[in-house]
């Protein structure tokens, strides 16, 4: 392949991701100007596949809020909500969204329409209380879809199991109820063939996402799961069920396979392969990543790319012959997987350490997301009992600059890498091989 063709493909995922993101916001801006409401949804079980069938613009308040942090304006939004009485230790995404709504949907990336309906799952308890705020503000309907979760690591059940079949029927009944509500809210008749198209697009996207994640087992790794991965994740959520999402992930697979063949890694001279657990530090997002890459540390995978994609990493294949029942099964499998990635990550992490040849696992609990952060200390201990891998436990926040201390983070991260270096230099089983 010539250098021009190579230059066109390498980096395309990041360029196209940014373009799709801009286009998505332009669409939302038009919906806001035209007075069309959107469907407010969350990353863990968005049901984008179904909502597209009713031509509802998709608004992801979590993604909008994190963008305020990445663009360094989150504090203004947080302060505004705190002045209204929202507590400083609440989920920062909620507070940024409250301020966004009070500003008529104005965000640094554009303007979002108000909600016509909100659809949420029980994957995070904050979702339910958050949607109640919109209910009070806009008096619009909210549909809470209850997805039965597992109760312990490794207790996931599958098709054919009696409990699983009961749970699937329970989710399917809720989806049928939601379809009736969507018909009422939009005044549009449900079109099962459009759902089939949407599920087919989601199948293509899911296959691509799974493959992209697997391809990062390459050495050197092909993308940084923290920085590049977050761009891919945005497309995975925002374009699930859309043809653009399907094409994007097929092209991303092409890009990653090309990079693998040509031995092209990230811009970092990879010395240590890392896995990230938790939610990123968005207020200093670029710098946070640099604190690792400066030492030659690259993130080859993360639990974030699993739970924040709503379990799309599972690549559940919808059966187009039976779309509604299959959507229920896919939602059950994927949202359960997302919840397990947050609550019981040990088995998956131990496997990742093995298959991705990982040197270190970084646990990043954050002040304002209890759902993800509670239990991370136990998860870390459990992982260290299961496998011999270095770990770092470092705290900050995803939104709130006031609790992000770059100097403290740097000290801890520098010490972590010193440990990794001595561990590598030490004879196997000798001094320095500890964690």
**Which residues of the chain form contacts with ligand SF4 (CB under 6 A)?**
62, 91, 93, 124, 126-127, 369, 371-372
Least separation, in Å, of the C-beta of 43 and ligand SF4?
8
Least separation, in Å, of the C-beta of 330 and ligand SF4?
21
Residue 372 CA to residue 43 CA, distance in Å, equals 13
Q: Are 14 and 228 in contact (CB under 8 A)?
A: yes
What residues contact residue 171 under an 8 Å CB cut-off, 6+ apart? 145, 147, 148, 328, 329, 331, 332
Six token digits for residue 325: 């029942």
Six token digits for residue 196: 């089939």
Q: In this complex, which beta carbon is closest to ligand SF4, that of residue 128 or of residue 426?
A: 128
Q: Which of 241, 251, 279 is nearest to 65 (CA)?
A: 279
Q: Which of 386, 289, 235, 327 is nearest to 47 (CA)?
A: 327
Least separation, in Å, of the C-beta of 74 and ligand SF4?
13
Least separation, in Å, of the C-beta of 252 and ligand SF4?
25
Q: Are 82 and 399 in contact (CB under 8 A)?
A: no
Q: Are 110 and 134 in contact (CB under 8 A)?
A: no
Least separation, in Å, of the C-beta of 65 and ligand SF4?
8
Q: In this complex, which beta carbon is closest to ligand SF4, that of residue 123 or of residue 413?
A: 123
Residue 174 CA to residue 191 CA, distance in Å, equals 18
Residue 144 CA to residue 122 CA, distance in Å, equals 7
Q: In this complex, which beta carbon is closest to ligand SF4, that of residue 43 or of residue 231?
A: 43
Q: In this complex, which beta carbon is closest to ligand SF4, that of residue 100 or of residue 126?
A: 126
Least separation, in Å, of the C-beta of 127 and ligand SF4?
6
Q: Which of 364, 343, 358 is nearest to 388 (CA)?
A: 358
Q: In this complex, which beta carbon is closest to ligand SF4, that of residue 41 or of residue 199?
A: 41
Give how far Cα 147 sits from Cα of 76, 88, 144, Å: 35, 30, 9
Least separation, in Å, of the C-beta of 419 and ligand SF4?
29
Least separation, in Å, of the C-beta of 291 and ligand SF4?
22
Least separation, in Å, of the C-beta of 185 and ligand SF4?
23
- The H helix count followed by the E strand count for the chain is 18, 10
DSSP helix/strand/coil, 329: helix
Residue 144 has phi, psi (to 5 degrees) of -100, 115
Q: In this complex, which beta carbon is closest to ligand SF4, that of residue 120 or of residue 392?
A: 120
Q: In this complex, which beta carbon is closest to ligand SF4, that of residue 124 or of residue 275?
A: 124
Q: In this complex, which beta carbon is closest to ligand SF4, that of residue 229 or of residue 360?
A: 229
Buried b (16+ CB within 10 A) or exposed e, 307-337: bbbbbbbbbbebeeeebebbbbbbbbbbbbb
Q: In this complex, which beta carbon is closest to ligand SF4, that of residue 228 or of residue 397?
A: 397
Residue 289 CA to residue 270 CA, distance in Å, equals 14
């Amino acid at each position: 392949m010539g250098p021009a063709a190579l230059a066109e493909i390498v980096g395309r995922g990041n360029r196209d991701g940014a373009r799709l993101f801009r286009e998505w916001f332009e669409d939302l801006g038009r919906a806001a100007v035209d007075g069309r409401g959107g469907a407010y949804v969350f990353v863990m079980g968005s049901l984008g596949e179904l909502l597209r069938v009713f031509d509802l613009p998709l608004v992801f308040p979590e993604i909008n809020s994190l963008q305020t942090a990445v663009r360094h304006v989150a504090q203004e939004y947080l302060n505004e909500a705190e002045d209204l009485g929202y507590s400083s230790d609440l989920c920062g995404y909620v507070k940024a969204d409250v301020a966004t709504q009070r500003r008529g949907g104005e965000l640094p990336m554009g303007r979002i329409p108000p909600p016509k309906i909100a659809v949420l799952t029980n994957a995070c308890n904050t979702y339910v209380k958050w949607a109640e705020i919109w209910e009070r503000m806009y008096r619009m309907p909210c549909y809470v879809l209850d997805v039965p979760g597992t109760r312990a690591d490794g207790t996931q059940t599958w098709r054919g199991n009696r409990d699983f079949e009961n749970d699937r029927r329970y989710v399917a009944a809720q989806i049928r109820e939601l379809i009736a509500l969507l018909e009422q809210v939009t005044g549009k008749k449900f079109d099962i063939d459009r759902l089939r198209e949407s599920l087919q697009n989601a199948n293509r996207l899911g296959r691509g996402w799974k493959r992209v994640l697997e391809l990062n087992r390459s050495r050197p790794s092909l993308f940084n799961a923290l920085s590049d991965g977050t761009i891919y994740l945005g497309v995975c959520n925002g374009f699930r069920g859309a043809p653009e999402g399907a094409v994007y992930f097929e092209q991303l697979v092409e890009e990653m396979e090309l990079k693998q063949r040509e031995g092209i890694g990230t811009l970092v001279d990879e010395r240590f392969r890392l896995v990230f657990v938790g939610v990123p530090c968005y207020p200093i997002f670029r710098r946070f990543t640099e604190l690792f890459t400066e030492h030659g540390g690259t993130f080859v995978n993360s639990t974030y790319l699993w739970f924040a994609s709503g379990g799309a990493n599972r690549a559940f294949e919808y059966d187009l012959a039976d779309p509604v029942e299959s959507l229920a099964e896919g939602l059950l499998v994927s949202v359960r997987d997302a919840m397990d990635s947050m609550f019981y990550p040990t088995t998956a992490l131990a496997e990742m350490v093995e298959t991705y040849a990982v040197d270190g696992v970084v646990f990043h609990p954050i002040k304002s997301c209890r759902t993800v952060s509670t239990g991370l200390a136990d998860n870390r201990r459990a992982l260290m009992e299961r496998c011999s891998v270095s770990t770092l436990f470092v705290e900050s926040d995803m939104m709130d600059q006031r609790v992000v201390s770059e100097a403290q983070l740097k000290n801890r991260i520098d010490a972590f890498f010193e440990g990794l270096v001595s561990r590598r230099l030490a004879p196997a089983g000798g001094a320095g091989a500890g964690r």
